Structure formats: structure tokens, C-alpha cells
Structure 1
Amino acid sequence: MPRNFELPAGEDAVLRCSHFSAQGKARSLIVIAHGYKGFKDWGMFPYVAGALSNEHEVISFNFSHAGIGEDLQHFTELEKFARNTYQREIRDMEILLSYLSQHHRFGSLPVFLLGHSRGGGVCLLYALDHPGEIAGVLSWNGITNLDLFTEEQKREMREQGRTHVLNGRTGQQMPLDAVIIEDLEQQAERYNLLERMKQARFPAVLIQGSEDGEHLRRGSETLNRLRPDMEWVRIPGGNHTFGTVHPFAGPTPPLDMAIAESREFIDSVLAGQA
């Protein structure tokens, strides 16, 4: 069973984290970042964390403004979700990774970031902003364009100060405030992942279901073309969540394949460091 802990993240913000302890001698520290309208206890994530903890220390966490509060299964903090900028998410990761680096159990271990969907893009951005700190990034069905919003949503944010996005699973209309689009526009150069990845030096792998959304597959293809040294692994039959659902109904062949490919990537990076 994981050990849960919390870290203050400024103002009334809290990082809610789970530590899956390595079952043997830990070879690295893996930090798992969920995606848009996701959370650390969604469906597959506890299973993934447990599976990777056979040889690694694993930390999963909820971004402080992801909309999930003390109730770890439901979106009860929609006013925080409305202000969840990329700047905020990077700050959350800085707080978490700074804490882990000072912890005797984790401080000496190589750090890998594993992000799903939006989390994949955030992990790439973090590694770009913190050169030399990250051993490798694993982007699972990750975004390469940080602008996830429709033209109508952006217009409403600018003109009315707020728009909404539907959570298809819960039926909730989740608010998005103008601060989100302002963050995107003010830091457009910093958030241009494709351009910045041309010069990146950290190892990374793109692990993607063959049935993932077309725009995400197209983004991975573009990144792979810009960086042919970065492997693009396609998982046959895998959709955006590798065939898994919430509540978790058990692993699927695509999910287990994604985990196996992740282990292989980490092994290859660690072998190269030896």
C-alpha cells in the first residue's frame, strides 16, 4: 500500500502525494504527473505506480489546482481548477522535486518524470526549464502543444473572464478563467515545446496508443521528426488511457505493454549512466 503525504504549495494550495516504496534496492525515483481533468488516483495510475515500484521509488501526486481536494475521488475544488496555469503546475513540480531532493531516501537517485496527456507536456517543459536535473522523461500519450483550448473558449476567457469545459465522465462544467490564456500568451516562447525540444539534451521517449487521438499522434510524429533520436513507441490497440477506465477494472494488454516499454527506456538510460 502506498504512503500518502501532503506538502504545502503556497497560499491555500496543497500537493497531495502517494509514495510507492521500492520493493528492492531502488535504481531511480519516478515521479508520475496526471493530465488534464485527471488525478493521481484515477483508474490506471495506482496500478502503474505499483508496477514500476518493483525496482524504483515512485511518487504520484495531484497538482494543487487540478480540482481535487481532500476528497481524492471527486472534483470539489473547481475554483482552483479555474486558475490552473502551466506556471502553477511547474511551480508545484518545483516544490515537490525540491522536497524529494532533500529527502535522504530519494536525494541520491536519478529522477525520471512520467506524464500522461497534459502531464506529458508539463514533464517535458519541466525538464527543459531545469537542465541537468532530470535523467529522462516518459510522455504517455502526451501533448506537444500546450494550448488545449478551443477558439470559442479563448474568446470567452478574453471577453467574459471565464469559460467552461465539460468533464465527460462526471458531467461537470469545469470553469476556466482568463488567467489561463494570459499565462499561455505571456509565455508563448517558453511554452513552445516543439521549438525548444530541438535543442534538448535529456533522454525522452514518447509512448503512445495506436488509437490515441489524431491530434496527439500528429504532435508526436512532428516531435519525432524534429528529434529522430527520441523514440516514438506505438502501442497496438491502445487508446488515450491504454484501454483502462475509472474506476479501475484491471490492467489491459496495451497498459502492460506501456509499462514494459517504460521499464526498458529507464533501463537503457541507467545503463548509459553506469
Structure 2
Amino acid sequence: MIIRQSFTIEGAEGRPILMDLHFKNGQEDRPIVLFVHGFKGFKDWGAYNLVAEYFVKQGFRFLKFNFSHNGTSPEKPTEFTDLGAFGDNTFSKEFFDLDQVISFAKSGKDFPKSEKLYLIGHSRGGGTSIIQTAKDTRINKLITWAAISDFRSLWKKEDEKEWRSKGVIFSFNTRTKQYTPLKIDLLHDLEKNVKAYDILLAAQQIHKPWLIIHGDQDINVSLDEALKLNENCPQAELFTVPYANHVFGVSHPFTKDELSLELHLVCEKSVEFLKIS
């Protein structure tokens, strides 16, 4: 039986970070796989709970969380009920949150800590995970799924003039039919940390095992992004998933009780990589 244990810790600006740990009895000392969701994502999006179960069945503990400013709340973790917080989000706040979660996972305070911590990041969460791994000795291995290679790819360059003028731009969420705000603080934060938040530069500094996974039919983040990452870290392993889109064949809500073929392959390859000593 797979156990799901929930925790809430303090994130950026005192806002809560909701997380859950998936495991089986007897797995208290197993490595922890920490999953980092992407832009407009959340820990329970699509098939992520099935992903957690897959990893647990393969002998890992699986920890996933919601960034403090991702627009959800602990009361409604799958709905964008706080667009004000979403608009206030910055890259610095997400790095603060991720550091908090890693510290929590390694503390052994609320559940047994593990000597090994593996990071998986999807899309924007992949870019964040690359930068975190380059500077964080607590991370043993990195896996990125459909990761971006530049934070500036999250918006159109031609929108920056209007963004600076109005102080906010809106991004349409096709699933929820909401116009989600992005305040100018996000752009200013990136400009203040040009070198620190340079994903490709961070890729050059990674000397730990890294698996880059990308779908060859990804229209949201081109396969070229994965190739750029691999060029900047040649020792990383690149695995291309045939016929796979940005979310590897799943959507939200996901009503099936099995992973899509594409996402199953992604998980299978990820587990194989993590089990290599």
C-alpha cells in the first residue's frame, strides 16, 4: 500500500508551500526523488500522482510540492484561486521555495532523511532545477523533462515594451480560460540576476549525473532547447521520446488509471538512470 503524507512549510514572503511524500512502509531509508513542477503547473497536475506511484513501486520515495506563489492554495491545491500571488511570483521566490523544500527533505525532522536526493524538473521547473543543481551539493542526480534553456522564453520578446509601460502583462491559460497576470517584478528579477539565472551557464557548471529527456513533438519547448543544454553539458545523457509532446501524452484532468505510453517511457528511463550507481 502506498502512503501519501502531506506537509506544509513556510515559503517566500511567508506563504505556504504544500507538499506530499509518497512511500511504502519499509522505505524509510530510500532515496528521495523531488519533483519540481513548471509554469502554470502544480504538484497534482495530470498524471503526477501516478508518476509518484510508479517511482514508489520502483523503490524510491517521491516528494512533490506547490511553489508558494503558483496561484493555488493549500485549501484548493489544484485550482488557480489566487491570481494575485501568481502575478507576484518571481524566479527568486521559486529558488527560495526550492531551497526550503530541499532543507526540509534533508532535515529528518518530519520523516527519515535520505543520504541521496534526486531532482526532477519539468519545463520551467527544469530550468530552475538546473540552476539549483549547479550550486547545491545536497543534490546527487538531476533529471529534466522538457526543460527550458532560457527563462526569457516564457514570454514573447515583443511584449516586453508593453510590460515595462503597463507594469503587467497577461498570459491566457487555455485550460482554465483565465488570464493570468505577470507583473514587471518578474522581468526585473531576471535582469537583476542575469548571470545567476542563466540556465545555459549553469548547465556548464554541472558535474553530477544528468539525464535530459525531451519529446520530439514538443511545440511548447522545442527539442532544440534540449540540444542546447546538452551542448553546454556534453557529459549529460540526452534521451529523446518519439512522438511525445510537452506533457508526454497526458492532460489535466487525467482520468485514466495508467500512465500514457510516452510518460511511462519517461518514468522508465528516469528510474533506470537513477538506479545506476
**TM value normalised by structure 2:** 0.92
How many equivalent residue pairs? 268
Which amino acid in structure 1 is aligned with residue 40 of structure 2?
Answer: K
1:229 CA drift (Å): 1.5
**What pairs with 1:215-226 in structure 2 (closer than 5 Å)?**
215-226=221-232
CA spacing shift, 1:199–1:11, aligned 2, 3 Å: closer
Map of 1:258 onto structure 2: 266
Map of 1:49 onto structure 2: 52
Distance in structure 2 (CA, Å) of the matches to 1:10 and 1:188: 21
Q: Are residues 1:230 and 2:236 paired?
A: yes
Distance in structure 2 (CA, Å) of the matches to 1:10 and 1:240: 28
The answer (yes or no) to whether the contact 1:144–1:223 under 8 Å persists in 2 is yes
CA spacing shift, 1:264–1:181, aligned 2, 3 Å: same
Instruction: Indicate which of 24, 30, 33 corresponds to 1:30.
Output: 33
Map of 1:21 onto structure 2: 23
Which amino acid in structure 2 is aligned with residue 7 of structure 1?
Answer: I
CA spacing shift, 1:46–1:91, aligned 2, 3 Å: same
- The alignment's C-alpha RMSD in Å is 1.6
The SS at the match of 1:82 is: helix
Q: Are residues 1:165 and 2:168 paired?
A: no
Which amino acid in structure 1 is aligned with residue 96 of structure 2?
Answer: R
CA spacing shift, 1:183–1:217, aligned 2, 3 Å: same
1:123-150 CA-to-partner distances (Å, cap 9, x unmatched) read 11111232x2110111011111111111
Which range moves more in the overlay, 167-176 or 211-220?
A: 211-220
Distance in structure 2 (CA, Å) of the matches to 1:171 and 1:152: 23
Which range moves more in the overlay, 219-228 or 43-52?
A: 219-228
The SS at the match of 1:174 is: strand
Map of 2:11 onto structure 1: 9
Which amino acid in structure 2 is aligned with residue 222 of structure 1?
Answer: K
Q: Are residues 1:175 and 2:177 paired?
A: no
**What pairs with 1:1-274 in structure 2 (closer than 5 Å)?**
1-22=3-24, 24-25=26-27, 26-54=29-57, 55-69=59-73, 70-103=75-108, 105-130=111-136, 132-147=137-152, 148-213=154-219, 215-250=221-256, 251-268=259-276, 271=277
Which amino acid in structure 1 is aligned with residue 129 of structure 2?
Answer: C
Distance in structure 2 (CA, Å) of the matches to 1:56 and 1:3: 15
The answer (yes or no) to whether the contact 2:221–2:246 under 8 Å persists in 1 is no
Distance in structure 2 (CA, Å) of the matches to 1:88 and 1:204: 24
1:214 CA drift (Å): 6.8
CA spacing shift, 1:11–1:187, aligned 2, 3 Å: closer
1:29-70 CA-to-partner distances (Å, cap 9, x unmatched) read 111111000101110111111111121111110000000112
Structure 2 residues not aligned, in runs of 5+: none
**TM value normalised by structure 1:** 0.93
1:209-230 CA-to-partner distances (Å, cap 9, x unmatched) read 1211275311111121232221
The answer (yes or no) to whether the contact 2:123–2:221 under 8 Å persists in 1 is no
- Identity fraction in percent: 30
The SS at the match of 1:2 is: strand
The answer (yes or no) to whether the contact 1:22–1:58 under 8 Å persists in 2 is no
Structure 1 residues not aligned, in runs of 5+: none
The answer (yes or no) to whether the contact 1:153–1:164 under 8 Å persists in 2 is no
